[in-house]
Structure 1
Amino acid sequence: MPSEFQLIQQFFQREQAEQPAEGVLLGIGDDCALLQIPAGKQLAVSVDTLVAGVHFPADADPELIAQRALRTNLSDLAAMGADPLWFTLALTLPEANEEWLRRFSRGLFSCARDYGIALVGGDTTSGPLSITIQAMGATQAHQAMRRDGANIGDFILVTNALGDGAAALAAIQQTQSFAPEHRDYLLSRFYRPTPRLQESALIRDMATSALDISDGLVADLQHICDASDVGAVIDVENIPLSPAVKALNNTSQAYQWALSGGDDYELCFTLPPEKMADIAMLIAQGKLNATVIGEIIPGNQVVCELEGEPFVLTKTGYQHFE
């Protein structure tokens, strides 16, 4: 059976050595990586753990598992307005399966190349399958998008479409049937969510607050409200839905997925009224796909209204260990 160091060299160190990265003074193979932060920038750091059977099916394609693990972490960088730099990987494996590792490595480095982020270290150990990635990026000094800057009167926007993550889970668990083309789209959204880095670069000089939607729109928007000491109202009828979700012809279910399903990894951000013309221009030019879904109001809670009437959620968002 290969040793830990042999596995690292075979599947991770050798591949990364062929992709020299800016700012990496010393990468994989020593006790620590040595990294040079770009001049005038601040370091944004995020870490997430994905556990088999909780965050992805244990028998899923290892390439897709790797893609999902790295892409969801890149989404955190996008939420902060950070440009990707480096990441570390801690991999817990039930066995040293070389074919599994080969496919996982292929998916991981394919994604890393697509987004210009370099693996600089990590760890492997034995146990139930789990993947921990720490992603690092750079922001302009004191210009990161945070959760605590929303103001009363700001508009609330989201990128692209919501509800696809929860719909994909329903497809995976076979609790909902979809046409083949819609199922394929939803599975791609689940395993290959798009970190909205390009959108982040467009809005980071204008947004007063932002985050990515991982636990559900209502639950995540509540984090902005808590940090900014404000409330929010969501106009449910304005929430953008994908053709795959619309095709179910079950609007109530679609809204529930969009508001509380999670796993969408879209950006939710707030803008002052004076910046709306700039955003409208970006949307009209096809550079940004974003929709106004509500407004920041006095108070401390997120409320949902459908055509002016209260809209009741069956749950408020994803909760670990439920």
Structure 2
Amino acid sequence: MATGEFDLIGRYFEHQKINRSDVDLAIGDDCALLRVPEGYHLAISTDSLVAGTHFLADADPKQVAHKALASNLSDLAAMGATPAWVSLALTLPSFDEQWLSAFCEGFFQLAEQYNVQLIGGDTTKGPLSITLTVQGFVPVGQALTRSGASSTDAIYVTGQLGDSAAGLALLLKDKQCDNTALSQALMTRHFMTMPQVEAGTLLRGKASAALDISDGLIADLGHILKRSNVGAEIYTEALPISAELAAFCETPEQAQQMALSSGEEYQLCFTVPVEQCDDVEALMAKQGIQISRIGQLTENKGIVLLNNGEPVNWQLSGWDHFESESK
């Protein structure tokens, strides 16, 4: 059985359900030919995932594919962009039909959910790694950025925080849990997060700043503070924590600390002018999107953590991808 590059492309990547009308030429030539609608910016993001750094080499390839694409789509969501196209560069140590079939299943399931067409890429032999470039559209003048926040704005996050870090701790066997169902739920959430694309598009013209939580809330919020030249107060009791994370952690404070530092959550952190908070909360509730108001921007630089109004001195850092595994 031939397993050269063109055979891999033909068997696994050329035949997909998504065929967008704005793609004139995709897989099969040296370049893709695409059409950007008038009045829109093209938003582009590239990320790489490497075995042993971002995922264990023996991880479920279907979950790995989901995580790889979800993390890239999350970057578009953070800018308020609607996903359109993706290219994939896949490096494999050897041809493994079972692994590749499962990978494609996870990849195309998520791509179809967001109407994203695979338009090209590359396959080569080497240490297992995945590089994706996603592209999407955002109306000119409506992109969400990190630099528009003011010192009176409220701070929000979508979804729940901390589950990814808990799942990773279990995957790396840094922590133990006797509840099999609980462990499985948290490990699955580490891989199977959903990008907040709808939330991002709804926040156009409403959020003053936004980004996705990939390196931990504490670390990522710092990017908004730096670009917008403001500080922040975070109310730790307001952090959205799942029932599973609460059961996994020994104390509420431990769960809150995990929510603040957990990376690869792919939820959105965004700021809203106070006068628009009610409208944003009502809009998200109408669409069934969970958001939580977790703090307030301030004129004073840095981040102050408050628990029911009392300062707490937790020494927390951001996400370091699989630091334990690489040591």
1:87-102 pair list within 5 angstroms: 87-102=86-101
Q: Which runs of 5+ in 1 are unaligned?
A: none
The alpha carbon displacement at 1:277 in A equals: 1.5
Structure 2 alignment gaps of length 5 or more: none
Match in the other structure for 2:225: 225
Answer yes or no: is the 8 Å Cα contact 1:213–1:268 preserved in 2. Answer: yes
Aligned-partner Cα distance in 2 for 1:299–1:238: 21
Deviation at 1:286, TM superposition (A): 5.7
Give the paired residue count.
Answer: 320
Residue 283 to residue 179, structure 1, CA distance change in 2 (3 Å): farther
Give the CA RMSD over aligned residues: 1.6
**Does 1:139 find its partner at 2:142?**
no
Residue pair 1:89, 1:121 contacting (<8 A) in 2 also: yes
Amino acid at match of 2:289: L
Letter in 2 for 1:79: A
Paired amino acid for 1:76: D
Rounded to whole Å, the distance in 1 between the matches of 2:187 and 2:103 is: 18
1:290-309 correspondence runs (5 A):
290-309=291-310
Q: Residue in 2 aligned with 1:253? A: 254
1:80-113 deviations in whole A, cap 9, x for unaligned? 1000100010111111112211111111111111
* Contact 1:256/1:314, CA 8 A, preserved across alignment: no
The CA deviation at 1:303 is: 2.2
Deviation at 1:38, TM superposition (A): 1.6
Q: How does 1:160-309 map to 2 (within 5 A)?
A: 160-174=159-173, 175-177=175-177, 179-248=179-248, 249-285=250-286, 287-309=288-310
Residue type at the aligned position of 1:259? L
Choose 240-249 or 156-165, whichever is displaced more: 240-249
- The runs of at least 4 consecutive aligned structure 1 residues that moved more than 4 Å come to none
**In 1: Cα distance, 2:301 partner to 2:124 partner:** 43
Q: Which residue of 2 aligns with 1:29?
A: 28
Q: 1:178 to 1:166 in 2, by over 3 A?
A: farther
Q: What whole-Å deviation, never above 9, does each CA across 1:236-293 have from its counterpart, x for those lacking one?
A: 1110100101113422221121111211111100000110110232355463311110
With 47-56 and 309-318 compared, the bigger mean Cα shift is at 309-318
**Normalised TM-score (structure 2):** 0.93
Distance in 2 (CA, whole Å) between partners of 1:203 and 1:288 is: 12
Structure 1 residue 178 displacement after superposition: 5.7
- 2:150 match: 151
Distance 1:196 1:32, change over 3 A: same
CA gap of 1:283–1:43, structure 2 versus 1, over 3 A, is: closer
1:116 offset after TM fit, Å? 0.8
Q: Give me the TM-score of the superposition, normalised by structure 1.
A: 0.95
Following the alignment from structure 1 to structure 2, what is the Cα–Cα distance between the partners of residues 10 and 146?
A: 39
Q: Distance in 2 between matches of 1:283 and 1:69?
A: 26
Give the Cα separation in 2 of the matches to 1:267 and 1:178. Answer: 32
Cα pair 2:211 2:270 within 8 Å, conserved:
yes
For the 8 Å contact 2:232–2:297, the answer to whether it is kept is: yes
Map 1:74-153 → 2, pairs under 5 A? 74-153=73-152
1:227 to 1:178, Cα distance in 2 relative to 1, 3 A:
farther
SS at match of 1:144: coil
The Cα of 1:305 is off from its aligned counterpart by 1.8
Distance 1:145 1:119 in 2: 25
**Structure 1 residues 84 and 290, CA gap change in structure 2 (3 angstroms):** same
1:48 and 2:62 equivalent? Answer: no
